[in-house]
Amino acid sequence: MINILDYGASGDGLTLNTGSFCKAIAAAKASGEAVLVPAGGFLTGTIDLQGVSLHLEKGAVIKGSPNREDYPIMPFHHNELGDLQALIVCLEGEDVVIDGDGVIDLNGSSFFDFSRPIIPESRVEMTQSQLEECTVEREWRPTQSIFFYKVKKLTMRDVTVLDAPCWTITVAECVNVKLTGMNIDTNLRVPNDDGIHISSCDDVIISGCNISSGDDCIAVSGITNWAKPCENLVISDCILRSCSKALVLGYIYSHVRNVVINNIIIKGSNRGLTFMCNDKGGLVENVRASNLLIDTRIQAGNWWGNGEPIFFMGVEHDSHIPPEQNPHRDTPANFRNITVQNAFCTCENAAGAVGTGDNFENVLLRDITVQMKDSENLTLKGHTFDIAPSPCICEVPENTGVYVKSAGGLSLEKVRVLPFHGTEQKILVE
């Protein structure tokens, strides 16, 4: 391995090591070896891996610079977040590995002012504790954190990743991806600090990860290339906690298919398992999700979700996307051949689905138990399904634990809602 200390790096936590990483990567690329980060604190700006692997020894900490000038614009433009500026970047490559027992500290909190909460509209005035759950202001931040694009055979395992300023790990248009055994812990007030976002990839395994994030823990979409499907994924044996959606498949024009989800614990999340499609062109199909323990807690602030443990949203929600990004695909349905089974939900709002009447095909919820619980924050949005970024509003009828609206093609089998404070809760299909 190529040790960064041999290229002038200092692990004092103060010296900027961007140049040393660059030199070590060049040497590793020439020799075919990996770069070794030994114990110590290594402050750095953007690390361009150029297809080189990275090994972090126990006690090693890569820490992102707090300075904007240390994040040059890279040659990739993100459909939603613009020019790519990130701490670790790999644009193309093959057999790339980031592993070890070390830490990648993205230092995202340094870009935010936690004394300036972003306060959304609310049906009631927020308390001080609710304000302290809101997202916070920033002047600038890196638009990504760890970003892979068109890498073949990508592995990231065992490392701990902390404090993202934006999406933590983004994997875009990659093939044969394994993300295993990682701890991802981001600030719960930082917006868009998703744990793992998989976009337009093929053959992906995410397993054994513990993720706590302000935004989505695991998102699967086509956001970096709407025209390219994201397919053939296994997501298993993970523990997730999110102020937004713990696990979400689909978004806007994305096509997501062939997904197996198993053995997932979702705790204290604003929303649990979510399926999202724009009703004109989005598609999620061929999904099997099973063995789920889902607990929701409504989070105050500008987060998506309102305590729904399992939720399908198949309505218009593309108004903020430039029209030129629309790939103009017609689909016979938006949700097709999906089964969610063997789930126990403790939640602050109903589970359910909202569609257009005919955009669900062969969707089944089976062996699902819903137990409602008290909520401190339900009054902020009221008893509604949050279908942002759609302009629609969907009120949930009183004493309803499962609510399905305009979702023909969705079936319920052995679904029950337990009484709440002695009052029977309805399963309502309209």
- CATH 2.160.20.10 for domain 38-429: yes
What are the phi and psi torsion angles at 128 (to 5°)?
-60, -40
Looking at residue 332, what is its pLDDT? 87
Confidence grade of residue 13 (pLDDT, cut at 50, 70, 90): very high
Please say if the pLDDT value at position 259 is more than 90. Answer: yes
Looking at residue 330, what is its pLDDT? 86
Confidence grade of residue 392 (pLDDT, cut at 50, 70, 90): confident
Looking at residue 68, what is its pLDDT? 98
At 218-232, the pLDDT tens digits run 999 999 999 999 999
CB-neighbour burial class of residue 320 (10 A; exposed 0-12, middle 13-18, buried 19+): exposed
Average pLDDT, the chain: 97
Looking at residue 302, what is its pLDDT? 93
Please say if the pLDDT value at position 42 is more than 90. Answer: yes
At 298-357, the pLDDT tens digits run 999 999 999 999 999 999 988 888 889 999 898 989 999 999 999 999 999 999 999 999
At 64-96, the pLDDT tens digits run 999 999 999 999 999 999 999 999 999 999 999
What average pLDDT does the segment 391-413 reach? 95
